[in-house]
């Protein structure tokens, strides 16, 4: 497991969080446990810290539980979606944390396990649920959503310019036979797109698969709740690091961090009262990118964008 899983921008994430995790008793939350690469590194680098790790995927929790077993009760693994962080901490009796890490998007395990249906490069059932015990599958979305809603999803979540053309083909084909497997969808997309659209941007199915995955798992709405909630759980001096893999995620994280780092005072005040002062300090100039060396070693790092922030002030009512 650890051989096939290479954590993205690992050293930089550790360095960003390090100043907040040096003291005994520090709590760090890995909101996206996956196969546990970042979590294992956090436990190793900060031997006095306690880890709380969340994942909605039960198989990821099982595999990571085996990997992190040597760390004993320093690691608490929880089956939860990351916007449930406040409730998880409340159940554990933890008022504040010193570090939070998000590694967004689909995990290496989900991409590598063919029967999960995340990867467009291999034929598999069109599932794409990160938690396979609940929710609708990608096949159900394709087969049952109205055409206008499918177009909206492909445009909004996949930034797919050919959404109407693809959806027209999907609706025509699903009337003949419902979609069940990824290979048929990939072939349909290839046939539906004009030649010019197929010559750029890698696999032509990439954007559609991304859009379906985000819809199936409610990723953006969950993230929209999760990042502000995570910031609220941070102690003063606590730090948060977020790895995004497409512009929609990164834009959302950027907005939350920028809002926290800005004064909210009305224009023209000679002195800015405490309640209007920024709550966050940005730790990265824009979004940091992986190095060329890392991308060469781990192609899945290529689209990564890392942003970090430090909590510098309590909320003042």
Q: What is the CATH number of the domain that holds 104?
A: 3.40.50.150
Model pTM?
0.86
- Are 288 and 245 within one domain? yes
- Are 300 and 177 within one domain? no
Domain with 172, as residue range(s), is 114-217
Q: Is 3 annotated as a binding residue?
A: no
- Are 105 and 14 within one domain? yes
- Are 85 and 146 within one domain? no
- For residue 214, the model assigns a pLDDT of 92
- For residue 107, the model assigns a pLDDT of 53
Q: Is 122 annotated as a binding residue?
A: no
- Are 258 and 212 within one domain? no
Q: Is 157 annotated as a binding residue?
A: no
Query: pLDDT tens digits, the chain, 317 residues: what are they?
Result: 444 568 999 999 999 999 999 999 999 999 999 999 999 999 999 999 999 999 998 888 999 999 999 999 999 999 999 999 999 999 999 999 999 999 997 654 445 455 554 566 678 899 998 888 888 999 999 999 999 999 999 999 999 999 999 999 999 999 999 999 999 999 999 999 887 666 666 788 889 999 999 999 988 999 999 999 999 999 999 999 999 999 999 999 999 999 999 988 777 777 878 788 899 999 999 999 999 999 999 888 999 999 999 999 988 65
DSSP annotation string for 170-226? HHHHHHHS---BHHHHHHHHHHHS-HHHHTSSSSTTHHHHHHHHHHHHTHHHHHHHH
Q: Is 98 annotated as a binding residue?
A: no
Burial group, residue 207, by CB count within 10 angstroms (0-12, 13-18, 19+):
buried
Whole-number Cα distances in Å, 198 to 153, 169, 195? 20, 16, 5
- Are 24 and 49 within one domain? yes
Residue that is last in its domain, among 188, 217, 246: 217
Q: Is 36 annotated as a binding residue?
A: yes
- Are 55 and 69 within one domain? yes
- Are 209 and 225 within one domain? no
Assigned domain for 240 exists = yes
- Are 137 and 213 within one domain? yes
Q: How far apart are CA 113 and CA 306, in angstroms?
A: 26
Assigned domain for 3 exists = no
Assigned domain for 197 exists = yes
Q: Is 103 annotated as a binding residue?
A: yes
- Are 45 and 68 within one domain? yes
- Are 89 and 226 within one domain? yes
Assigned domain for 317 exists = no
- For residue 118, the model assigns a pLDDT of 56
CATH number at residue 194: 1.10.150.170
Q: Is 37 annotated as a binding residue?
A: yes
Residue that is last in its domain, among 183, 217, 251: 217
- Are 225 and 146 within one domain? no
Assigned domain for 180 exists = yes
Assigned domain for 5 exists = no
Assigned domain for 2 exists = no
- For residue 106, the model assigns a pLDDT of 65
- For residue 16, the model assigns a pLDDT of 97
Assigned domain for 224 exists = yes
- State how many domains the chain has: 2
Residue that is last in its domain, among 217, 245, 278: 217
């Amino acid at each position: 497991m650890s051989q096939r899983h290479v954590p993205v921008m690992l050293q930089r994430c550790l360095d960003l969080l390090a100043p907040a995790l040096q003291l005994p008793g520090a709590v760090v939350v890995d909101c996206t446990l996956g196969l546990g690469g970042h979590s294992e590194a956090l436990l190793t680098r900060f031997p006095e810290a306690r880890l709380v790790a969340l994942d909605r995927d039960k198989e990821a929790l099982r595999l990571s539980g085996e990997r992190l077993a040597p760390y004993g009760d320093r690691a608490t693994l929880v089956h939860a979606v990351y916007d449930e962080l406040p409730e998880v901490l409340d159940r554990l009796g933890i008022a504040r944390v010193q570090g939070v890490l998000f590694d967004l998007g689909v995990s290496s395990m989900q991409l590598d396990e063919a029967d999960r249906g995340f990867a467009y490069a291999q034929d598999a059932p069109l599932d794409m649920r990160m938690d396979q015990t609940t929710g609708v599958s990608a096949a159900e979305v394709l087969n049952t959503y109205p055409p206008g809603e499918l177009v909206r999803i492909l445009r909004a979540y996949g930034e797919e310019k050919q959404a109407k053309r693809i959806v027209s083909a999907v609706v025509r084909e699903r009337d003949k036979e419902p979609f069940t497997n990824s290979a048929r969808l990939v072939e349909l997309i290839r046939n539906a797109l004009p030649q010019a659209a197929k010559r750029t941007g890698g696999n032509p199915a990439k954007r559609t698969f991304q859009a379906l995955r985000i819809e199936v798992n409610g990723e953006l709405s969950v993230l929209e709740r999760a990042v502000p909630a995570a910031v609220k759980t941070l102690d003063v001096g606590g730090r948060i690091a977020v790895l995004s893999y497409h512009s929609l995620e990164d834009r959302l994280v950027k907005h939350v961090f920028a809002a926290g780092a800005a004064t909210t005072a009305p224009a023209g005040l000679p002195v800015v009262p405490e309640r209007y002062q920024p709550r966050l300090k940005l730790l990265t100039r824009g979004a940091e990118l992986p190095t060329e060396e890392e991308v060469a070693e781990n192609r899945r790092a290529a689209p990564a964008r890392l942003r970090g922030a430090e909590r510098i002030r309590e909320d003042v009512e």
